[in-house]
Amino acid sequence: MTQTIAAAEANEARLPLEDKHVLIFGGTSGIGLATALQAKAAGARVTVVGLNRDRSRRAAEQHGFADWRAANVTDPEAIREALSDVGQVDHLVLLAGSFAMGKVLEADICLLRLAYEERIWSVVHILRTLGDKLAQDASITLVSGALTHRPDGNGTAIIASACAAVEVLGRGLALELAPRRVNTLSPGPIDTPLLGKAMGEARDGFVRAIEAQHPLHRFGTAEETASAAVFLMTNGYMNGEVLHIDGGSRL
C-alpha cells in the first residue's frame, strides 16, 4: 500500500508535459508564443516555427525553447526543409496563419486562396512531412475561429469557410490518424499582434465595437487561449472536438 501511495505521489509530482516534444507552428508571437511558454512551464521541450528566421531564433533564445525553425506554411518545400531533422513529435500545434480578408467580388483571388493554403493545405503538407515522426499517441491541435459561426459580411466569407473546413478536417483526421488525437481550438476575439496587422488604423474602433457587444465586454488574452491549447495536449480523452475559447461571443 505504501509503495502504491508513493508511486501515485511521484506521478502527481511529474509535470504534465514532462519529457514531451511540442512542435508549434506560429510559435513566435501571440497565441503561439503564449502556448510555447505554457508548454515549457509544463515540462515540455518546445520547438517553435515562425515565418522569419531571425525572429524565430530570437524567440527561442529569449525564452529558452529547445529549438526553432523557420518556414512559410504555404510552401511545401520550405516545410520539408524545416522539418528534415526534427525528432519525434509528441504534440503538434498548428497556429500559423494570417487574417486574409477580402470580398468575393472584389479581392484578388490569390489573397482569397491564402485562407485555404494556410489553414487546410499547410496541415496536409506538415502531416505528410512529419509522417512517422508523429508519436503514435501524439496530439494534433488545429485552429479555426469564431467566424465559423458568425460571418459578418465584411470580406470574411472565404476565411470563415476555411475556418469551418478546419473543424471538419479535424474530425476526419481524428479517425484517419487514430490513435493519435486531433482537436481544433476555436478562438473568439483575442488581443494579439495579428489583430493590429489585419485591421491597421481601424483596430481601435473595431475593438470598441466588439467589446460593446461581447457578453464579457472584453477581448480574450493570448494566455487564456494558450491554456486551452495546453488542455487539448494534456487531456488524453479529448479527441475530434472543437474547443471554443471565445467568452461566449458566438452566442
Q: 152: closest CA among 204, 117, 103?
A: 103
| Alpha carbon separation from 167 to 5, 86, 133, 172 (Å, rounded) | 41, 27, 24, 9
Confidence of residue 53 (pLDDT cuts 50, 70, 90): very high
Report CA-CA distances (Å) from 45 to 88, 130, 146, 154.
11, 17, 30, 41
- Identity of residue 117: E
Q: What is the pLDDT of residues 173-211, one digit of tens each?
A: 999 999 999 999 999 888 877 666 666 676 677 677 778
The three-state secondary structure class of 6 is helix
> Rounded distance, CA 73 to CA 123, Å?
8
- Grade residue 59 by pLDDT with cuts at 50, 70 and 90: very high
What is the pLDDT at residue 8? Answer: 47
First to last CA, the chain: 50
Residue of 121, 127, 118 whose CA lies nearest to 96: 118
Residue 165: the pLDDT is 96
- Residue 100 pLDDT > 50, yes or no? yes
Phi and psi angles of residue 15, each rounded to the nearest 5 degrees, phi first: -70, 145
pLDDT band at 7 (very low <50, low <70, confident <90, very high): very low
pTM of the model: 0.89
pLDDT of residue 197: 64
CB 63 within 8 A of CB 37: yes
Domains present along the chain, CATH in parentheses: 16-245 (3.40.50.720)
Instruction: Give the pLDDT confidence of 223-244 residue by residue, as tens digits.
Output: 999 999 999 999 999 999 999 9
